[in-house]
């Protein structure tokens, strides 16, 4: 009997070599290949293991605080006078962002693999805090690589990591931001292959990380879908999320990819403007290249040297993007747009004043796009935005820019 023709789906990737179209793959040094293959084996087993799923769900409910609420932003909606705006409140998770969803999943894998030491990279510090948290919870030593520039501008998170028992190693190479931290974490990993688990914080890097991180973060979109159906009896018309590496975005996007009626928008950091070099809009202003184990859109010069990005938000300050986003852009399923620093800053203040929620600067980018689009949409239309992190870590950065004294 012939097989039924396969449905056209945007959710089938990656293929067995870790590719999303031309993007993704396993561009790593030979030293790391056996580790990545081991990780893939373990992940393939774990994701089909009911006991693993049960432990993940238990920790999700009792440690992270899942499901996170779906919140109707009534005053913001009224102020903008258009579409109804809902937030998926990932900022209410333990540790204050979506990052913990992935960290819990990966540390359970690390335990299964018998690894005894955790390393991680961090930009804004949210992933570093989440990594340090799960390392404390599971009693494993943790080293977090963080760009020296970020150590300075995200001091509260550095302090949190230290309190949690992690060792924070500032990285001065390059511009001292997320990409340099990732280089340094990879160097640690090739040196300590036997005992060390590299807990990558975003849906990028060599296969199977982009797929694995996405699957751990897809709980965001799965919950939001059910919650939206319960609240409104239908799916949203527009889903919006900020994209740096892209883990919170792929987490909320993925369950909606095959719902044709749902428009999806990813928001990149436009920094001081995409005409110059001071931005992190990899898709809007970059080109395909190979970095950190995968092919994806990168900010680079004509010789293939990677450029330093800029964003007001440390969490978006990365010159690449997860490979699945690169593919979703090229096939036209998701639209990627830039938002400038000053627009994000305005959105940050708007939400704080109107809803009493201090958002992180990362989702403030998504919010700025929502603020642009909502007034142009009908009152019967619905926007779902991933409020991926809270802004406590950013108050000093914002206060400094606004000239507020303490």
Partner 1 sequence: MTARMDKRFADVAAEGRPVLVTYFMAGDPDFETSLSIMKALPKSGADVIELGMPFSDPMADGPAIQLAGQRSLKGGQTLAKTLEIARRFREDDQRTPIVLMGYYNPIYIYGVDRFLTDALAAGIDGLIVVDLPPEMDDELCIPALEKGINFIRLATPTTDDRRLPKVLENTSGFVYYVSMNGITGSALPDPSLIGGAVARIKAHTNLPVCVGFGVKTADHARAIGASADGVVVGTAIVNQIASSLTEEGKATDATVPGVEALVRGLSAGVRSARLAAAE
As annotated, the active-site residues are 99, 121, 388
Residue closer to partner 1 (CB basis): 93 or 183? 183
CB of 307 to partner 1, least distance (A): 8
Residues 166-225 that bind partner 1 (CB under 8 A): 173-174, 179, 183, 186-187, 190-194
CB of 208 to partner 1, least distance (A): 12
Residue closer to partner 1 (CB basis): 162 or 287? 287
Q: Rule CB under 8 A: choose which of 17, 260, 275, 380 binds partner 1.
A: 17
290 touches partner 1 (CB under 8 A) = yes
Residue closer to partner 1 (CB basis): 32 or 267? 32
Q: Of the ranges 161-169, 282-290, 323-331, 367-375, which one interacts with partner 1 (CB under 8 A)?
A: 282-290
29 touches partner 1 (CB under 8 A) = yes
Residue closer to partner 1 (CB basis): 206 or 270? 206
CB of 58 to partner 1, least distance (A): 34
Q: Rule CB under 8 A: choose which of 304, 375, 378, 399 binds partner 1.
A: 304
Q: Rule CB under 8 A: choose which of 40, 149, 300, 364 binds partner 1.
A: 300
CB of 309 to partner 1, least distance (A): 12
Label each residue of the chain as H, E or C: CCCCCCCCCCCCCCCCCCEECCEEEEECCHHHHHHHHHHHHHHHHHHCCHHHHHHHHHHHHHHHCCCCCEEECHHHHHHHCCCEEEEEEHHHCHHHECHHHHHHHHHHHHHHCCCCEEEEEECCCHHHHHHHHHHHHHCCCEEEEEEHHHHHHCHHHHHHHHHCCCEEEEECCCCCCHHHHHHHHHHHHHHCCCCEEECCCCCCCCCCHHHHHHHHHCHHHHHHHHHHHHHHCCCCCEEEEECCCCHHHHHHHHHHCCCCCCEEEEEEEEECCCCCCCCCCHHHHCEEEEECEEEEEECECCCCCECCCCCCCHHHCCCCCCHHHHHHHHCCCEEEEEEEHHHHHHHHHHHHHHHCCCECHHHHHHHHHHHHHHHHCCCCCEEEEEECEEHHHHHHHHHHHHCCCC
84 touches partner 1 (CB under 8 A) = no
CB of 183 to partner 1, least distance (A): 5
25 touches partner 1 (CB under 8 A) = yes
Report the interface residues with partner 1, using CB under 8 A.
17, 25-35, 173-174, 179, 183, 186-187, 190-194, 287, 289-293, 295, 298, 300, 302-306
């Amino acid at each position: 009997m012939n097989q039924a023709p396969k449905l056209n789906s945007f959710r089938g990737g990656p293929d067995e070599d870790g590719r999303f179209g031309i993007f993704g793959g396993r561009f790593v040094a030979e030293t790391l290949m056996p580790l990545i293959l081991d990780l893939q084996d373990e992940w393939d087993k774990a994701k089909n293991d009911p006991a693993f799923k049960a432990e993940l769900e238990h920790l999700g409910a009792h440690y992270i605080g899942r499901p996170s609420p779906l919140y109707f932003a009534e005053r913001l909606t009224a102020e903008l006078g258009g579409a109804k705006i809902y937030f998926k409140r990932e900022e209410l998770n333990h540790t204050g962002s979506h990052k913990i969803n992935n960290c819990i999943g990966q540390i359970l894998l690390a335990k299964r693999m018998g690894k005894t030491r955790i390393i991680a990279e961090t930009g804004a510090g949210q992933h570093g805090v989440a990594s340090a948290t799960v390392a404390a919870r599971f009693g494993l030593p943790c080293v977090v690589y963080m760009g020296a520039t970020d150590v300075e501008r995200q001091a509260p998170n550095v302090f949190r990591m230290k309190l949690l028992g992690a060792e924070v190693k500032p990285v001065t190479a390059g511009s001292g931001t997320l990409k340099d931290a990732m280089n340094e974490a990879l160097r640690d990993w090739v040196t300590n292959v036997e005992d060390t688990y590299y807990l990558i914080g975003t849906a990028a890097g060599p296969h199977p990380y982009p797929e694995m991180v996405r699957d751990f973060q897809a709980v965001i979109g799965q919950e939001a879908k059910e919650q939206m159906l319960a609240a409104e009896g239908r799916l949203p018309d527009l889903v919006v999320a900020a994209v740096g590496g892209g883990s919170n975005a792929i987490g909320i996007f993925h369950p909606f990819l095959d719902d044709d009626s749902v428009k999806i928008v990813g928001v990149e950091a436009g920094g001081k403007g995409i005409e110059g070099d001071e931005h992190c809009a990899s898709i809007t202003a970059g080109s395909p290249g190979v970095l950190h184990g995968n092919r994806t859109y990168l900010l680079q010069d004509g010789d293939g040297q990677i450029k330093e990005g800029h964003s007001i938000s440390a969490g978006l300050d990365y010159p690449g993007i997860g490979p699945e986003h690169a593919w979703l852009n090229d096939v036209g399923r998701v639209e990627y747009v830039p938002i400038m620093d000053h627009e994000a800053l305005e959105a940050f203040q708007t939400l704080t004043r109107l809803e009493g929620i201090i958002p992180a600067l990362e989702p403030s980018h998504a919010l700025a796009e929502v603020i642009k689009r909502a007034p142009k949409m009908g009152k019967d239309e619905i926007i779902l935005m991933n409020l991926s992190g809270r802004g406590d870590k950013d108050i000093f950065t914002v206060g400094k820019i606004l000239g507020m004294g303490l």
